[in-house]
């Protein structure tokens, strides 16, 4: 802790006790002890190189798949959105995307260039870094299908480049070298047609707004779909639509969404996740596994 206090200040903004509720799409979560918004890759790399080895670090994009508990996060949160935000065409079919670029921006950029294969990213409200960590996907597309290589930083701030083959990728799951985080990816797309890609994006966004509770604070699908079935179907047929704990409710529009109706705590959401898990297991004999990442300390431990 004292060693952290003596660090050379980064060029970016380092805030103390930053409420994570401001940085998660559920709008809940206690404070991060330290919260760094680096100005660029060099700034982040220099900061990590100096950070004592024992200091926990948590990387956050747009917080759209995160439940941060009410007691907050002991350690340093590194936020990439709004900072690592370069996006460039490398050649005919390749683009380089930094980790903080919003997925929607990647989809639009590729479409404008007349490249196809990234349209599915349009409705995913996270960053490229989060999409790489989660193998985010929608409507048949998945992030790692278009990844050729990634750039990472390790805990000592070293910048590395790795081929996609260094990672084991599955449904919403990515395993790779431990102690490294994504700072950029090179995507390989197919030559396509700008107008058709733009039209496809429009129709995917419409399908989303027809089926999902847009405009309400959520983290998207809470549970992974079990093999051969859908979490939403299992939750709905267990009679859980509309069930609430405090300010957290199972959405009436999409049963695999839990929405914060305004006053939820992280504890409300986590309790509702537990209630849904138990009820579905009792009704169907299937134990759902959360897709959302749950981090931080319960309020009483803070
Ligand atoms: C309305 C709504 C709809 C959604 N629809 C979809 C959907 O269709 N498909 C889908 O897959 N997801 C969906 N999601 C979930 C979410 O948007 C994705 O999981 C997204 O990829 C998370 O990106 P993020 O930047 O917000 O990551 P965060 O939520 O900030 O972080 C998620 C995880 O990624 C890690 N991470 C973040 N950045 C990095 C990095 N640079 N390097 C290493 N690890 C990192 C974090 O540590 C954390 O473990 C939806 C969410 C919402 C709110």
What does the pLDDT profile of the chain (302 residues) look like in tens digits? 456 666 667 888 999 999 999 999 999 999 999 999 999 999 999 999 999 989 999 999 999 999 999 999 999 999 999 999 999 999 999 999 999 999 999 999 999 999 999 999 999 999 999 999 999 999 999 999 999 999 999 999 999 999 999 999 999 999 999 999 999 999 999 999 999 999 999 999 999 999 999 999 999 999 999 999 999 999 999 999 999 999 999 999 999 999 999 999 999 999 999 999 999 999 999 999 999 999 999 997 65
50 tagged catalytic: no
140: alpha, beta or left, given left = phi > 0 and alpha = psi -120 to 50? left
- Please report, in angstroms and rounded to a whole number, the separation of the first and last CA atoms in the chain: 16
Verify whether residue 291 is a known catalytic residue. Answer: yes
Whether pTM exceeds 0.85: yes
Q: Identify whether the C-beta of residue 67 lies closer than 8 Å to the C-beta of residue 219.
A: yes
Please state the separation of Cα 141 from the chain's center in Å: 16
Q: Which of 64, 218, 221, 265 is catalytic?
A: 221
Catalytic, 81? Answer no
The number of the ligand 1 atom at minimal distance from the alpha carbon of 84 is: 41
Pocket lined around ligand 1, Cβ cut-off 6 Å: 25, 58-66, 80, 99, 123-127, 129-131, 133-134, 136-138, 181-182, 212, 218-220, 293
The residue whose CB lies within 8 Å of the most ligand 1 atoms, and thus the one to mutate among 126, 147, 178, is 126
Taking the centre of ligand 1 as the mean of its atom positions, its distance from the CA of residue 141, in whole angstroms, is 15
């Amino acid at each position: 802790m004292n060693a952290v206090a003596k660090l050379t200040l980064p060029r970016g903004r380092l805030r103390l006790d930053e409420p994570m509720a401001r940085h998660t799409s559920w709008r809940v979560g206690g404070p991060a002890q330290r919260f760094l918004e680096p100005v660029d890759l060099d700034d982040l790399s220099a900061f990590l190189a100096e950070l004592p080895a024992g200091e926990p670090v948590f990387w956050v994009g747009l917080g759209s798949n995160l439940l941060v508990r009410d007691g907050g996060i002991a350690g340093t949160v590194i936020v990439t959105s709004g900072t690592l935000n370069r996006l460039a065409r490398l050649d005919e079919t390749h683009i380089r995307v930094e980790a903080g670029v919003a997925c929607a921006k990647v989809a639009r950029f590729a479409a404008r260039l007349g490249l196809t294969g990234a349209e599915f990213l349009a409705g995913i409200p996270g960053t490229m870094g989060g999409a790489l960590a989660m193998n985010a996907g929608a409507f048949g597309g998945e992030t790692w299908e278009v990844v050729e290589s990634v750039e990472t930083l390790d805990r000592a701030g070293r910048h590395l480049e790795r081929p996609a083959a260094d990672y084991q990728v599955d449904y919403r799951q990515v395993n790779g070298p431990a102690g490294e985080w994504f700072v950029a990816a090179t995507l390989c797309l197919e030559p396509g047609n700008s107008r058709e890609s733009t039209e496809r994006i429009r129709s995917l966004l419409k399908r989303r707004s027809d089926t999902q509770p847009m405009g309400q604070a959520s983290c998207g699908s809470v549970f992974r779909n079990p093999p051969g079935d859908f979490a939403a179907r299992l939750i709905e047929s267990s009679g859980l639509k509309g069930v609430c704990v405090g300010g957290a409710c199972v959405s009436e529009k999409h049963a695999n969404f839990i929405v914060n109706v305004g006053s939820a705590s992280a504890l409300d959401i986590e309790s509702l996740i537990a209630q849904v898990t138990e009820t579905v297991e009792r009704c169907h004999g299937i134990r759902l596994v959360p897709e959302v990442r749950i981090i931080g300390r319960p309020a009483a431990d803070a």
